[in-house]
């Protein structure tokens, strides 16, 4: 049995912190997401990756009850996101992809206003600590901030109350590499503390660095959900075959072969997720000069799914 990190005593926490079942959202006739199902476990660092417009933000907005699902259901901490949104939000930190801040406020006023909703004064010290790490001047006016500094404010407001769950939508946009690395450090720390992290991004390298498990979303659907190591090692292989002059095979069709590409008249490359023995049997009738079967870089795996 797990227990809530910030809220008291012995509040039990379900094993699945996020549980989405057959979730769909349509905006009139246009598709937002379709039949999305996924689970994020307690303490997990979960990547939610997909190209722009794939439906990542729509999913997150449903989780936050900013928009309502057309069908399906979603639960956080075992509570329905529509019926119990207030209770859920008291234990959640959210970094929006493109959120503005209230103008006519100084940064510290804005952060204090946000922290006041959670009660107590513990956040004050934490805000100063986080501002120090992210190199943010709390005395500046919100209207004077650059995009990157606004993002820092959003990161601080999400982390200040030490939430049980962090939902981050494109959190690195606008941040320079140094601050990005500091952010990754903070997120890793939070995750070590026990917080679950739901990291949505279209930047592969960010996900690769931080997440253990990912869901790949495309055209509003989850097309793959697995551990990064599994995606890389067990599933897709990159196969390159160089035939001899008189052994060229024009048509090699085998189950599990995708993204076929002829590099030269004698050389072919493709991604393969089928049975290796079947591939070897099929090649045994040709004259092969060299054969390489390797794990593709993560970028290629994602690009394969995106396409």
Q: Under the rule (CB under 8 A), what is the footprint of other proteins?
A: 27, 61, 64-68, 85-87, 89-90, 92-94, 96, 98-102, 104, 113-114, 116-118, 154, 157-158
Nearer residue to other proteins within complex by CB, 6 or 203: 6
β-bridge partners, 288? 243
Q: Which is nearer to other proteins, 111 or 271 (CB)?
A: 111
Cβ at position 102, least distance to other proteins in Å: 6
For other proteins, the closer CB: 151 or 237: 151
Q: Which is nearer to other proteins, 20 or 283 (CB)?
A: 20
C-beta of 32 vs 296, nearer to other proteins: 32
Question: What's the min distance (Å) between Cβ of 232 and other proteins?
Answer: 33
Least distance CB 86 / other proteins (angstroms):
5
CB of 142 to other proteins, least distance (A): 10
Q: How far is the CB of 208 from other proteins (least distance, A)?
A: 27
Tokens 């001047």 belong to residue: 137
């Amino acid at each position: 049995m797990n227990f809530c990190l910030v809220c008291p005593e012995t509040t039990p926490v379900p094993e699945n912190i996020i549980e989405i079942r057959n979730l769909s959202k349509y905006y009139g006739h246009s598709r937002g997401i379709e039949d999305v199902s996924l689970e994020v476990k307690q303490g997990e660092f979960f990547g939610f990756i997909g190209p722009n417009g794939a439906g990542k933000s729509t999913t997150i907005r449903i989780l936050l009850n900013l928009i309502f699902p057309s069908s399906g259901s979603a639960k956080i901490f075992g509570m329905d996101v529509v019926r119990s949104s207030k209770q859920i939000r008291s234990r959640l930190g959210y970094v929006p992809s493109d959120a503005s801040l209230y103008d006519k406020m100084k940064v510290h006023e804005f952060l204090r206003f946000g922290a006041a909703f959670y009660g107590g004064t513990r956040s004050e010290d934490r805000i100063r600590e986080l501002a120090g790490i992210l190199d943010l001047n709390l005395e500046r006016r919100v209207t004077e901030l650059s995009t990157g500094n606004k993002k820092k404010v959003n990161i601080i407001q999400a982390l200040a109350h030490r939430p049980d769950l962090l939902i981050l939508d494109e959190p690195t946009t606008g941040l320079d590499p140094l601050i990005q690395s500091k952010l990754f450090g903070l997120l890793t720390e939070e995750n070590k503390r026990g917080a679950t992290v739901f990291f949505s991004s279209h930047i592969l390298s960010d996900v690769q660095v931080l997440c253990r498990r990912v869901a790949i979303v495309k055209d509003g659907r989850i097309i793959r959900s697995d551990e990064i190591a599994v995606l890389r090692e067990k599933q897709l292989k990159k196969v390159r075959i160089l035939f001899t002059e008189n052994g060229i095979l024009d048509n090699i069709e085998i189950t599990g072969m995708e993204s076929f590409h002829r590099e030269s008249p004698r050389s072919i490359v493709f991604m393969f997720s089928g049975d290796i023995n079947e591939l070897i049997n099929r090649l045994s009738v040709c004259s092969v000069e060299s054969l390489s079967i390797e794990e593709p870089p993560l970028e290629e795996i994602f690009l394969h799914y995106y396409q």
